[in-house]
Structure 1
């Protein structure tokens, strides 16, 4: 929930730490009065991080219509129709959380490192904004839309269009400098960080290459995107224990390599890296790739392709993009006779696999790789500290077959 400074008093009154929050509020109000200027931040209450302070230049992005659209895009797609009715939080929430996670990670890197080259302010702004906007290009029902489009739709590439459109509208001095100074090197860096490709830059990142391991880590997959969505999805679904989710120290104890080119993780935390990928795999098996969820996605894809094939070509450069969101797509395909099965789960009957031979069946047949395969090979991770503290892990590499068929009654 987005809230202004003057709404904090009510929250402070009901908080367990009300006295502390009230004191902080009073200090901020006093400072604001002395400065005779607007408060330089807004507040967002987040399920994972609590209250997040958002500076006004970030607030300008958050309030942009393209970012507000994310409130109407479900993070977990159609999972709410497949036995997980609680899976309704938005892509907006995840993006705000990833922004905050990037701040926390940057602070940890500074605290843990002896890097002599300080991160320039414009680079820090770029990393934080890349984290905020990394999913700005998602279609309806998030990753489900990529399945609907047959993987011809890339939310990251679409997001780059959104970044340019957002920055074209910005008035904040900080944001205009990222757009206009040095041939727009700030916006160029934001877009390169979102897709995880440093080769997109037209200038070198001398001693600062490690920032490409923060938002979209194409080297080993450890990034703040995963850090946020794993915690957020599990908090929503409540499937894994606190012990299963104890991998925060991977990020909290990481440091910048001596040459500044990558992020290093402790030997002590190597086993936690596997724990992270194990948690991700278990969420796939118990939620993301539930047979019913995959079948619902297949049916939804069939309906959209049949009823509204023109939607598959829509991108963020279209005037119709803002109206392409979850509820609106459902409204556009509501007249299709198969829609009754999305709304009525009791009309789905699990039957022996028929490999799609029957018209009234929806079949699923995929394999999910084991967490030991999802986790990159050992050499992908730069480790530091006492190597004797590196615990051995037994990688689960056996793929799991998911084969189910549902008859539509």
Structure 2
């Protein structure tokens, strides 16, 4: 079961909270008692979310305001892996909402690890930390129906991150929390500007210098080498549902938990000891692509969805977050809107597909798939992109697999 608010139950992972044996009500009470007895002035969280990857996630009241916004709530109706739950993996019903909440928690975990592991004496300003956490929470708020499938439907005209920036502005325009209004209004809105730059992974979009805190651009969208909390959450979350990889194959958390801030504050460094775990992460990602994300039938569904929407409801391709239609543009609603097309029945009925060797690309009753997936050694960037620290002798040699995988199949629609 995916992330749930208070009343729903799900199995808690070992990486979650230390309170998994208590009921959600007991956990609420214990957390409040701990905080009320503390000398710290930390605010009591207003919301607790039970998550299948992280356990119980505490949501402060100002973050709850963001979570409760209609644009964020819409993500509950957008599946993380699109039509995969219909095509081949019925267990893959988790949503973008679940992933965004988990990425928020992962960002907090990484920020805490960086503070713990670093000898960097420049404290990250509170408004910057808030911006990082909110950027993690909102990094996928602009996704269309069926997540990445929708980008295939719309082609190059749709970018979920750029669309997400419109959502960020609309969400902050509605906020009442003093903390959130400060991020929006103080110093020409530098906080919201930072949130949007972090989502895109482009520090050059800022109109002000980060003054020794450039490393935060390696947290949410790491355009340097791809090691970010987005990837950290979705690999764990997707595999928990799909159960494709063993516990040992998923043991790469130390890449993040042992990372530190570089001496100049401009990047995140990873231990030489964990270099082989970086490759393990990319192998895990590659395995999920081959075993789930790019299954031939899933890719074929993508093709059919594209054809139906473009033929039946082409105006949907131009709907963006600045339109009144956006809130009503989610998975099940799109399927309802294209139900008039006779081919839509095949999206809902995978048993009506037959794999065949004889393929006719010109015949609409046939769907052919051909794609090449590069090896994990290609997905992982060259060594120079990974800043390392510690004992160089502990860097293990990895044998990078660069062999591409051909994904090909042909289906006849009955």
TM-score category (smaller protein): over 0.9
After superposition, the C-alpha distances for 1:64-118 in whole angstroms (9 at most, x for unaligned) are 0000000000000010111111111110000000000000000000000000100
* Corresponding residue of 2:48: 43
Cα distance change, pair 162–22 in 1 and its aligned pair in 2 (3 A): closer
2:50 aligned counterpart, secondary structure? strand
* Corresponding residue of 1:389: 394
User: Are 1:2 and 2:34 an aligned pair?
Assistant: no
Note the residue ranges of structure 1 that are not aligned, 5 or more in a row: 5-13
Cα distance change, pair 401–105 in 1 and its aligned pair in 2 (3 A): same
CA contact (8 A) 2:359 2:411 kept: no
2:111 aligned counterpart, secondary structure? helix
User: Are 1:74 and 2:97 an aligned pair?
Assistant: no
Instruction: Output the CA distance in 1 between the equivalents of 2:227 and 2:36.
Output: 41
Q: How does 1:49-198 map to 2 (within 5 A)?
A: 49-198=54-203
Shift of residue 346, structure 1, vs aligned partner: 1.7
Cα distance change, pair 302–317 in 1 and its aligned pair in 2 (3 A): same
Instruction: Output the CA distance in 2 between the equivalents of 1:363 and 1:318.
Output: 35
* Corresponding residue of 2:12: none
* Corresponding residue of 1:7: none
Shift of residue 15, structure 1, vs aligned partner: 5.3
After superposition, the C-alpha distances for 1:155-208 in whole angstroms (9 at most, x for unaligned) are 000000000000000010100000000000000000000000001000001110
Q: How does 1:298-337 map to 2 (within 5 A)?
A: 298-337=303-342
Q: How does 1:336-351 map to 2 (within 5 A)?
A: 336-351=341-356
Q: How does 1:233-248 map to 2 (within 5 A)?
A: 233-248=238-253
1:27 pairs with one of 33, 37, 57:
33
| TM-score between both structures, scaled by the size of structure 2 | 0.92
Instruction: Output the CA distance in 1 between the equivalents of 2:408 and 2:358.
Output: 7
CA contact (8 A) 1:81 1:296 kept: no
Moved more, 40-49 or 182-191: 40-49
Cα distance change, pair 351–201 in 1 and its aligned pair in 2 (3 A): same
Instruction: Output the CA distance in 1 between the equivalents of 2:407 and 2:105.
Output: 35
CA contact (8 A) 1:373 1:396 kept: yes
Cα distance change, pair 269–121 in 1 and its aligned pair in 2 (3 A): same
2:220 aligned counterpart, secondary structure? coil
Shift of residue 22, structure 1, vs aligned partner: 7.6
Give me the CA root mean square deviation. 2.0
CA contact (8 A) 1:353 1:363 kept: no
Instruction: Output the CA distance in 1 between the equivalents of 2:305 and 2:276.
Output: 39
After superposition, the C-alpha distances for 1:346-380 in whole angstroms (9 at most, x for unaligned) are 21111116361333100101111110000000000
Instruction: Output the CA distance in 1 between the equivalents of 2:199 and 2:28.
Output: 38
CA contact (8 A) 1:369 1:397 kept: yes
2:409 aligned counterpart, secondary structure? strand
Moved more, 14-23 or 64-73: 14-23
Instruction: Output the CA distance in 1 between the equivalents of 2:250 and 2:205.
Output: 34
Instruction: Output the CA distance in 2 between the equivalents of 1:341 and 1:130.
Output: 38
Shift of residue 2, structure 1, vs aligned partner: 2.2
Instruction: Output the CA distance in 1 between the equivalents of 2:299 and 2:234.
Output: 20
